A and B are shown apart, each in its own frame.
Chain A
């Protein structure tokens, strides 16, 4: 039950723009394997929801093809596609009880009443909804409505489960809980799932692979580790977590990584992208938690020196902004401050990082 998109584009008419249209999805290629959980991640307006609606059939692609289980489904209306969607607003039928909502899909398929009842009871038990079977949707909490929406979507045993930002209406604690629950249910049923969110932590928690999108285009497809530690470009590195960029010149490859000249010193990165050219410029990306801060001393020869500009004590960590004379402050995080001690605003520090934590990107020519 794989899903495949080939060169899928979606252009909307938009008379308010000078060019008269807007390209919401731009030549997207994507392959989701059977049983896989893939997340479309990106800022609002990046085309992730439109992509999802193209897969569900609510939008028709302007160009390109959509395949579900190897069959081209461009001309199949949503009610004929073997996909089920969990909507952002849950879209629970307000005039039906919980039980009726959950069983609606099977009822539409014309299954015998007894079977519908049995299957509904089974799914409701799995989802912890049994005690509220007779309730009306307006008597449910947000989390319970979420469960009803999920139960209603999985009862049809769809080939593909689609999630459109399903947790954005829940409060933070419930969101954490539901993330794990969605992952648990997806794995126990083994349903191929495509999930849309703008929340990178949510994407990291639930996904086998993440598709990072921006302005309708796919920026990177990879595992959570890959998109975080081996970002394909500056956008991905910057969108997922926080990052420091150090622009370098004279890259020379060594093993998996490279060394390059940063100001007056050569620094090492443990990994590099394929589009970095030997001898040319490169950008070395280092996450704040990988930067090491030490009290500055005349004897040391760090790659960068600076002064603590801001220090925010958060208990588990301290977040710093360091003025190192660059156009942006350098971000660093130190852990376990009670034991390790921490710096105060104005302290001079020297900065270093282990090469394994640094990743080299090609400098971008055009955005």
Chain B
């Protein structure tokens, strides 16, 4: 068995030796993944287990003995589980409404559900403070309640549900769309009641998608940093914030690292389950051709109920964005609501450096990250070489690693020789490139799986060499996917906070970090104005890329970029 395994890999090595360009690219990508993903993670683990030159579990004992830190761990897991359940529930409701229930205003519901995905993940928290906080519009201006207990569990729960349900919605919409409605027709035809058909046919078919969505939401909630930093408060500690405070507030690197490891273990576990188990259990393959069928599974009464629930969620989301916009225009939120442009003037004055820095960093890192993603996707899908599985695993691992952990990893790994990068633009760029590379890989893999390898063979058969085949055939076919991957990577880069907050400096700062600073010093108006500008930039970029794709690739390209 081992002989044979070696035999195979020898064959792979021989193939690589015949193609030096491929060998070089493979070696470079593998080296970069080790240095910029594995090495920082290893630094965190080493810092936690070997704080002063010898191996010890002392730090973990210290954490275990500290009830406050332990409570943070428990709270994080609790929020992860609850958000996974509630977020997936709301996501399913929307997905079902849009694909199955034939409710009115489908495009509108879809559009509103997408907004939180393309805005900074802590906007929910910011708006909840503005609505229900000490000077909250609802709690104070309308109800005259002082010190409404929005900080802690309740507020955070609402903020995270609103922030993450759209992720579940997108996943489940894809799943429900790919379930052929004629299956439900067949079950109804066999005499099942609507509810039974839903319970026995629709729901079981969607189950792998639901499980997958829950695990993804669990991972994202665990990694969430912005919402808990604003909303959790001291009575409801959250692990990611605690790790951050240990390092920036108490300069206790070993404890911060140990908390990071505690954060990392459940995230990576959930990711491995999702990637290697749940995603294999899909019943349905997406054929791309939706079957035409009148949907009969929902009775008119249930339809109204579903529609009503969706409208309520939609109204809340719109309320959030309206309050951000209003907050950006109000003189002093809560006490003096006369409209003013002074917060925007502040953003374009003192704060403009952060806007420029953010645009620079996102603008540089996004194309690089997308390109790296395409290259990795191409290597993993089309080539065979030693280390292929390792490349796939490591490059996708970033998705499972909470930003806080990788941020701490970067400051530990790159503040000493051989690579001293702290405080530079480069460390932010590298972090963004490798953190958001899974986005590019996923869109690359998706498109390459759709492209028949025979198409590339046809080019070779007609006389094209490897380079011409890639540039004239493969590349033009994957470019639309590259750009659609770019949009998501750009959104992620613009809204990043958890890892970046460790890496910013006086020379290079980010809008998201500025927003946090404004919230912490109670200047909600400036925070809201920053947020408005940030969202406008993202929407501008999305529409620009979409228009470019449509103009350049017509139907073939425009359809690639769908939300």
Contact = CB atoms under 8 A, between A and B. Distances in A.
Interface of A: 13, 15, 20, 56, 58, 77-80, 83-85, 87-89, 91-95, 104-105, 108-109, 136, 138, 152, 156
Nearest to B452: A89
A320 to B, nearest CB: 39
A56 B462 contact: no
Contact of A89 (B8, B454, B465, B477): B454
A106 to B, nearest CB: 9
Contacts of A104: 459, 462
Interface in B444-498: 452, 454-455, 457-465, 468, 473, 476-477
B458 A88 contact: no
Given A13-B4, A79-B463, A79-B465, A93 B458 contact: yes
Nearest to A81: B461
A109 B476 CA distance: 20
Contacts of A20: 4
A84 B461 contact: yes
B461 A83 contact: yes
Contact of B556 (A84, A89, A92, A94): A94
A56 B461 contact: yes
Contacts of B463: 79-80, 105, 108-109, 156
B339 interface: no
Given A94-B477, A95-B556, A78 B460 contact: yes
B477 A87 contact: no
A199 B468 CA distance: 36
Given A58-B457, A88-B454, A92-B458, 6 more contacts: A56-B461, A79-B464, A83-B461, A91-B452, A94-B556, A109-B463
Contacts of A87: 454, 457-458
7 tightest A-B contacts by CB?
Answer: A91-B454, A91-B458, A105-B462, A87-B454, A91-B455, A108-B463, A95-B476
Nearest to B461: A85
B7 interface: yes
Contacts of B455: 91-94
A79 B454 contact: no
A88 B454 CA distance: 9
Name the residue among A84, A108, A109 with the largest chain B CB count within 10 angstroms.
Answer: A108
Name the residue among A20, A79, A80, A152 with the largest chain B CB count within 10 angstroms.
Answer: A79
B31 to A, nearest CB: 28
Interface of B: 4, 7-8, 11, 452, 454-455, 457-465, 468, 473, 476-477, 553, 556
Given A84-B462, A89-B452, A78 B457 contact: yes
Contacts, number: 68
Contacts of A79: 460-465
Name the residue among A15, A56, A80, A95 with the largest chain B CB count within 10 angstroms.
Answer: A95
Contacts of B7: 13
Contacts of B468: 108
Contacts of B458: 85, 87, 91-93, 152
Contacts of A58: 457, 460-461
A58 B462 CA distance: 12
A122 to B, nearest CB: 18
Contacts of A89: 452, 454
A29 B458 CA distance: 26
Contact of B457 (A85, A108, A138): A85
Contacts of B454: 87-89, 91
A161 to B, nearest CB: 11
A92 B459 CA distance: 10
A159 to B, nearest CB: 13
Nearest to A104: B462
Contacts of B556: 94-95, 136, 138
A93 B459 contact: yes
7 contacts: A58-B461, A77-B460, A79-B463, A79-B465, A84-B461, A138-B556, A152-B462
A84 B460 CA distance: 10
B17 to A, nearest CB: 15
Contacts of A105: 462-463
A58 B463 CA distance: 13
A266 B121 CA distance: 91
A128 to B, nearest CB: 21
A108 B464 CA distance: 6
Nearest to B468: A108
Contacts of B11: 13
A78 B461 contact: yes
A13 B457 contact: no
Name the residue among B8, B458, B464 with the largest chain A CB count within 10 angstroms.
Answer: B458
A19 to B, nearest CB: 10
Contact of B473 (A77, A93, A156): A93
A178 to B, nearest CB: 18
A84 B556 CA distance: 28
A66 to B, nearest CB: 15
Nearest to B557: A95
B560 to A, nearest CB: 12
Nearest to A80: B463
Contacts of A84: 461-462
Nearest to B475: A95
Contacts of A136: 556
Contacts of B452: 89, 91
Contacts of B473: 93
Given A91-B452, A94-B455, A95-B556, A156 B462 contact: yes
A105 B469 CA distance: 12
A88 B455 CA distance: 11
B453 to A, nearest CB: 9
Contacts of A93: 455, 458-459, 473, 477
A119 to B, nearest CB: 14
Nearest to B11: A13
A138 B11 CA distance: 39
A104 B476 CA distance: 14
Nearest to A138: B556
Nearest to A82: B463
Nearest to B465: A79
B476 A15 contact: no
Contacts of A156: 462-463
A181 B370 CA distance: 46
A104 B460 CA distance: 11
Nearest to A58: B457
Contacts of A108: 462-464, 468
A56 B465 CA distance: 14
Contacts of A56: 461
A29 B57 CA distance: 69
A56 B4 CA distance: 28
Contacts of B465: 79
Contacts of B4: 13, 15, 20
B13 to A, nearest CB: 14
B454 to A, nearest CB: 4
A58 to B, nearest CB: 6
A123 B64 CA distance: 78
A92 B473 CA distance: 10
Contacts of B461: 56, 58, 78-79, 83-85
A128 B240 CA distance: 67
A139 to B, nearest CB: 10
B457 A91 contact: yes
A254 B11 CA distance: 57
B8 to A, nearest CB: 6
B66 to A, nearest CB: 50
Contacts of A88: 454
Nearest to B7: A13
Nearest to B479: A95
Contacts of A95: 476-477, 553, 556
A78 B473 CA distance: 16
B315 to A, nearest CB: 41
Nearest to B477: A95
A109 B462 CA distance: 9
A108 to B, nearest CB: 5
A95 to B, nearest CB: 5
